[in-house]
């Protein structure tokens, strides 16, 4: 058994600290290369050192610590990449299902319901029902595409007040247009 492995097996914390100091940065560099996320990379490396400490008594006497650590970090990075791919596939599947259900709901709607002029009129009527200041802020935000800061400057009000008007406007519009929301959501998804 090499004296390095023996020192580790015996729980020599000073030796472990030296290994940590020698390999931490190179292992982080490897992990960042795989994950493109510095915080996650550091966690992977710390986990590798933790596993080394926990499994130190089970180490093969001829173990190469450097290879052990680099292999452990690489494998853990690859596992995370696989998990990310599964999550991404799942997310894409959910987005597709949502779009499919919205599309289906559109075809279940009565033809009279899907009159675009009627829809446009309903939206305009709902906007007209907004309180004066809410309507003004909403129109500046949605139709003039101004940012909250720009609206606040033009109207001489705080950004918080702008946000409050927009929140109130959207709440009122959701209530007024609740029967038309599936159609509005579907077309806003197609247009985005």
Could you tell me which CATH class the domain 116-189 is placed in?
mainly alpha
pTM for this structure?
0.46
Domain coordinates in residue numbering, the chain:
3-93, 116-189
More confident residue, 37 or 59: 37
CB contact at 8 A, 183 and 104:
no
Buried b (16+ CB within 10 A) or exposed e, 19-34: bbeebbeebbebbbeb
Tokens representing 26 are: 């190179």
Could you tell me which CATH class the domain 3-93 is placed in?
mainly alpha
C-alpha span between 129 and 131 (Å, rounded)? 6
pLDDT at 153: 93
pLDDT, mean over the chain: 79
pLDDT, average across residues 54-62: 80
pLDDT band at 106 (very low <50, low <70, confident <90, very high): low
Shortest CA distance to 45 belongs to which of 63, 29, 60, 67?
29
pLDDT at 24: 94
C-alpha span between 14 and 167 (Å, rounded)? 59
pLDDT at 59: 77
For 79, what's the count of Cα atoms within 13 Å in the CB-facing half-sphere? 9
Q: Do the domains 3-93 and 116-189 sit in the same CATH topology, yes or no?
A: no
CB contact at 8 A, 32 and 74:
no
Q: What is the pLDDT of residues 76-89, one digit of tens each?
A: 999 988 888 877 77
pLDDT at 56: 83
Statement: residue 192 has pLDDT above 50? no
């Amino acid at each position: 058994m090499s004296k390095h492995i023996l020192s580790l097996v015996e729980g020599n914390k000073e030796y472990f600290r030296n290994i940590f100091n020698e390999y931490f940065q190179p292992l982080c560099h490897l992990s960042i290369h795989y994950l493109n996320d510095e915080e996650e990379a550091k966690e992977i490396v710390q986990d590798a050192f933790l596993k080394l400490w926990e499994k130190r008594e089970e180490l093969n006497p001829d173990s190469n610590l450097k290879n052990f650590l680099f292999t452990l970090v690489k494998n853990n990075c690859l596992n995370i990449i696989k998990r990310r791919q599964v999550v991404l596939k799942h997310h894409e599947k959910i987005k597709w299902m949502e779009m499919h259900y919205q599309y289906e709901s559109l075809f279940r709607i009565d033809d009279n319901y899907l009159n675009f002029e009627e829809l446009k009129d309903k939206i305009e009527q709902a906007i007209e029902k907004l309180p004066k200041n809410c309507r003004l802020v909403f129109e500046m935000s949605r139709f003039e595409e101004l940012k909250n800061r720009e609206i606040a400057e033009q109207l001489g009000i705080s950004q918080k007040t702008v946000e409050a008007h927009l929140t109130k406007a959207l709440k009122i519009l959701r209530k007024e247009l609740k029967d038309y929301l599936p159609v509005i959501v579907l077309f806003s998804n197609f247009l985005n």
